[in-house]
Chains A and B, each alone.
Chain A
Amino acid sequence: MSDKHHIIPVWFFVGLLLLTYGALIVASGIAEWQNPPPTVLANLHAPVWWGSLMVVLGGGYIIAFRPRRSS
């Protein structure tokens, strides 16, 4: 996508957003571990594993599509 203009790939921005959001959601899930919110199936601690998935995917995108200096 960036051949002509050397634009940072959109996937890098996707990765940044997923990583940031994932980290916030995991932190929120850990903070409420002992006192989960009154949602259905709160005992499954969805924020922790869902947020972790976002962190892993976001991190992967950031590494794979990080801006590189053009030679």
Chain B
Amino acid sequence: MNFALATLVPQRLVRLSSVDLAIIAIYFIAVLCIGFYLKRFAQSGEDFFLAGREMTAWVAGLSFLSANLGSLELLGWAGSSYQYGILAAHWYWIGAIPAMLFLGIVMMPFYYISKTHSVPGYLQLRYGKAASGLSAVSFGFMTILMSGVNMFAMAKVMQVVLGWNIHFSIWVSSLTVGIYVASGGLFSAIFNEVLQFFLIWFGALLIPILGLIEAGGWNGLVARIQHNFPGQNFTHAWSTLGHFEDNPMGMHWTGIVFGLGAVISMGYWTTDFLVVQRVLAAKDLRSAKMAPIIGSFFKMAVPLIVILPGLIGLAVLPEKLVPESALQPGQHSYNDVLPLMLARYCGPGLMGLGVTALVAGFMAGMAGNVSAFATVWTYDIYRPFIRKTAPDRHYVSMGRWCTIIGLFISIGTAYLAMGFASIMDYVQALFSFFIAPLFGTVLLGMLWKRATPLGGFLGLLAGTLTAIGIFASMKIDHNLVAVFALSPMAKGLTQDMYQALWSCSVCVLVTVFVSLATTPKPLAELTGLVYGVTPIPKEENVPLLQKPIFWAGVALVLFVILQIVFW
């Protein structure tokens, strides 16, 4: 996510007609009505926090994908594709597909069979309260901060793109999200995410269609980019990754494969509760396994509406976009590329649809954050540490209040971010680095019977402290970039990759060594939690086309084909 968006200069990019405003208003009315409708179904804890565990594979899969398809992602990565070319697609391909398939095939059975309500909940069952508490507190704290900085970034984008008042955007969107999530819990969040999925595709897909027509197809697009930017390679995903200095990202293939593919994406897609919560809401194990696999097919296609518009911008825009740091009056930044393309091709009506898609993306992201926060606070902090025994309705009530309180904290964070824009970069960075060691802890917990409670806790703590330490030390002394990220040429995204790799490695090493020196849990206590002592239902009698492993294989083949085509 690119928080440089928040520093955009105030300058309205598009103007809305009455039909556009009607489309936006209809969206707000629709989500509120759906929230009120769903309130009657969210009465028990399982209903409110896990949507009754009755979502089909398709609903859970689209929701799982949409929870990550926020508007800042779209705007930021479209800007990155203008800046770095098709290299940005790695965050949608190797940075997502293997991890989503791994979650569906390998990890989901343990999450689902253990009947946990959250990722910290799994850690409690596997390692005990210490590791779970650490994970829950860091997740809850960072999630609510993220929600706030996203809210501010959204309001800033709305100010720049549409000329809306920043306070109006913050309060109207927050109150709407607060009302519908507090009403319908995860039901509302998931329904809204599925609506958002359709809005984003219908709102953004016209840009690549019309852009390719204008540019003369893919070959015409490549020729125009080469004409506009001679000597630069924007259309190959792997061939420039042999050396740090060969590509505009300052990236090496080891960072992409091991840092992004093996650690960051695995950590995010398999242990970030914001996305995993959607899959836990599936109605049965097969649906839970299929949900991320279904999501992976659409994830592979997301570059069509995110990366391709950036490339089309390189080919057809008459002006050259510039970095935020070099922005002068009258110029536009990389992050403006998606709104500029929207304004280029979309007139009244279609413009409203595109803007509604962005608004829906922001609000769905906010809803995802607060619903995940409410679950983790209620089930992983409040219940184990504050009030252990209470009726189910008490916890549901706590979840509703927590949603509202969480939103108000987010609003406070948004105003804090307004005063100190730089905290957004730190919050983003720290959040992603809590995730990397968590992946090591969860994976060892699922696959290694010998991992002990103390090993899990100390490994997670050491990995988290390593991530924070490396991040801080590189900020303080830039010379350390060459040590931790292997090259002084390594830029922000590259540094992230190696930081994650180090923190996950430290987490795994500490977990292993401490576990070997401490007493393991009895096997009987690991049933349903760990590979080798968990009976996983077989699917021998299921037709091939209904087997998750078959579709995971198809997704993997498509993924490989894409890498070869855009090599």
Q: At the interface, yes or no: B198 with Cβ under 8 Å from chain A?
A: yes
Query: Which residues of chain B have C-beta atoms less than 8 A from A13's C-beta?
Result: 30, 34, 191, 195
Q: At the interface, yes or no: B349 with Cβ under 8 Å from chain A?
A: yes
Given the complex of chains A and B, what is the CA–CA distance between A8 and B52 in angstroms? Answer: 14
Q: At the interface, yes or no: B553 with Cβ under 8 Å from chain A?
A: no
Query: Which residues of chain B have C-beta atoms less than 8 A from A10's C-beta?
Result: 59, 190-191, 194-195
Q: At the interface, yes or no: A71 with Cβ under 8 Å from chain B?
A: no
The answer to whether B349 touches A47 (Cβ under 8 A) is yes
Q: At the interface, yes or no: A56 with Cβ under 8 Å from chain B?
A: no
Query: Which residues of chain B have C-beta atoms less than 8 A from A3's C-beta?
Result: 54, 283
Which single residue of chain B is at the shortest CB-CB distance from A58? B198
Q: At the interface, yes or no: B144 with Cβ under 8 Å from chain A?
A: no
Known contacts being A3-B283, A5-B54, is A18 close to B198, with CB within 8 Å?
A: yes
Query: Which residues of chain A have C-beta atoms less than 8 A from B345's C-beta?
Result: 39-41, 46
Given the complex of chains A and B, what is the CA–CA distance between A14 and B198 in angstroms? Answer: 7
Our pick among A24, A29, A50 for the contact of B22 (Cβ within 8 Å) is A24
Residues of chain A in range 11-48 having any CB-CB distance to chain B below 8 Å: 13-14, 16-18, 20-21, 24-25, 27-29, 32, 36-37, 39-42, 44, 46-47
Known contacts being A10-B194, A40-B210, is A32 close to B350, with CB within 8 Å?
A: no
Q: At the interface, yes or no: A54 with Cβ under 8 Å from chain B?
A: yes
Query: Which residues of chain A have C-beta atoms less than 8 A from B198's C-beta?
Result: 14, 17-18
Our pick among A4, A5, A28 for the contact of B348 (Cβ within 8 Å) is A28
Our pick among B34, B55, B349 for the contact of A24 (Cβ within 8 Å) is B349
The answer to whether A21 touches B59 (Cβ under 8 A) is no
Given the complex of chains A and B, what is the CA–CA distance between A44 and B206 in angstroms? Answer: 12
Query: Which residues of chain B have C-beta atoms less than 8 A from A28's C-beta?
Result: 17, 19, 347-349
Which single residue of chain B is at the shortest CB-CB distance from A4? B54
The answer to whether A7 touches B38 (Cβ under 8 A) is yes
The answer to whether A39 touches B344 (Cβ under 8 A) is yes
| CB proximity of A65 to chain B, nearest CB, Å | 12
The answer to whether A40 touches B206 (Cβ under 8 A) is no
Given the complex of chains A and B, what is the CA–CA distance between A8 and B191 in angstroms? Answer: 11
Q: At the interface, yes or no: B525 with Cβ under 8 Å from chain A?
A: no
Q: At the interface, yes or no: B26 with Cβ under 8 Å from chain A?
A: yes
Top 8 A-B pairs ranked by shortest CB distance?
Answer: A37-B347, A28-B349, A25-B349, A5-B41, A10-B194, A28-B19, A39-B347, A10-B191
Which residues of B approach A to under 8 Å, CB–CB?
Answer: 17, 19, 22-23, 26-27, 30, 34, 37-38, 41, 47, 52, 54-56, 59, 187, 190-191, 194-195, 198-199, 202, 206, 210, 213-214, 283, 316, 343-350, 352-353, 356
